[in-house]
């Protein structure tokens, strides 16, 4: 075989290999793109499924869905009629729901302690200042004391206790063991019952323990803090594992 003929055959093989390789690459790339598209569509589908069958008539602006956190501060007092339950002040509109929640716990064999409810902005200022003062007395500088205080106490205006719709409630045995309120109160059956059945009375566990949810709320897990949102909303939020932040956003995106 001549050298010229050999080079011609070799060149033909190189071209053929390049064509085959390009075809495989195109097909692989196409398959990868299709997989990405399918995953993207699946993600969109999951998002839309989560927002289907929303409770009828519910709007993100409803009184029981008011959102207060460090990103949505209320620097002036919220006006509402107040009522007292077990020595704790709450919004008049949720008084019966709180009573029913406690009554349901008793019927299940659990005594409860209603620890706190409504707090004014002024009271929150006093609490924040008091804790910061203690931190300063322990030798912290002002910046460190401020940071340490903010880790355990909401800044005035960012605590949803000022709405009158939030309550701190614990099983009596859990509260006796942890009077300063700690997340692991949920080791007690009484606290588990409150968490599991809160939605039946229109409440949700406001600050859940999942990391993504803590990012949404900006608050660490609190097994004792319940927020009234209404029965329909509470059951929907529980069924779809939604924080109030995510639920309100979902309603807004749905044009509610």
227 and 165 in contact (C-beta within 8 Å)? yes
Domain with CATH 3.30.1380.10 in the chain: 63-119+159-253
Task: Say what the pLDDT of residue 82 is.
Answer: 98
CATH 3.30.1380.10 fits 63-119+159-253, yes or no: yes
Q: Rounded to 5 degrees, what angle do the CA atoms 204, 209, 213 make?
A: 75
Q: How far is CA 255 from CA 54, 58, 231, in A?
A: 11, 11, 21
Q: At what angle do helices 244-253 and 231-239 cross, to 10 degrees?
A: 100
Task: State how beta strands 112-116 and 166-171 pair.
Answer: antiparallel
Q: Rounded to 5 degrees, what angle do the CA atoms 178, 179, 183 make?
A: 45
Return the structure tokens found at 60: 């993100």
Active site residue 77: no
Task: Say what the pLDDT of residue 71 is.
Answer: 95
Q: What's the predicted TM-score (pTM) here?
A: 0.77
Catalytic residue among 146, 182, 210, 222: 222
CB atoms under 10 Å from CB of 159, counted, come to: 24
Per-position pLDDT tens, the chain of length 256: 544 444 444 444 444 444 444 443 434 444 444 444 444 333 333 344 366 789 999 999 999 999 999 999 999 999 999 999 999 999 999 999 999 999 999 999 999 999 999 999 999 999 899 999 999 999 999 999 998 888 778 899 999 999 999 999 999 999 999 999 999 999 999 999 999 999 999 999 999 999 999 999 999 899 999 999 999 999 999 999 999 999 999 999 998 9
């Amino acid at each position: 075989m001549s050298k010229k003929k050999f080079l011609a055959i070799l060149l033909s093989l190189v071209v053929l290999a390049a064509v085959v390789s390009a075809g495989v690459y195109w097909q692989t790339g196409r398959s990868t793109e299709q997989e990405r598209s399918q995953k993207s569509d699946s993600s969109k589908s999951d998002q839309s499924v989560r927002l289907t069958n929303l409770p009828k008539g519910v709007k993100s602006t409803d009184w029981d869905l008011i959102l207060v956190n460090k990103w949505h501060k209320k620097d002036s007092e919220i006006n509402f009629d107040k009522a007292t339950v077990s020595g704790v002040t709450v919004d008049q509109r949720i008084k019966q729901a709180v009573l029913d929640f406690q009554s349901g716990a008793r019927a299940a064999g659990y005594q409860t302690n209603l620890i706190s409810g409504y707090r004014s902005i002024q009271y929150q200022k006093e609490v924040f200042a008091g804790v910061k003062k203690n931190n300063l007395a322990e030798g912290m500088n002002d910046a460190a004391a401020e940071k340490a205080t903010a880790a355990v106490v909401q800044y005035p205006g960012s605590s949803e206790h000022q709405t009158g719709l939030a309550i701190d409630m614990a099983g009596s045995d859990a509260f006796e063991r942890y009077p300063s309120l700690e997340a692991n109160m949920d080791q007690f059956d009484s606290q588990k019952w409150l968490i599991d059945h809160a939605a039946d009375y229109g409440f949700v566990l406001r600050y859940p323990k999942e990391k993504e949810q803590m990012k949404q709320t900006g608050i660490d897990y609190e097994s004792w803090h319940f927020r009234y949102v209404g029965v329909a909303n509470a059951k929907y939020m529980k069924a779809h594992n939604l924080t109030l932040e995510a639920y309100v956003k979902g309603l807004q995106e749905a044009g509610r």
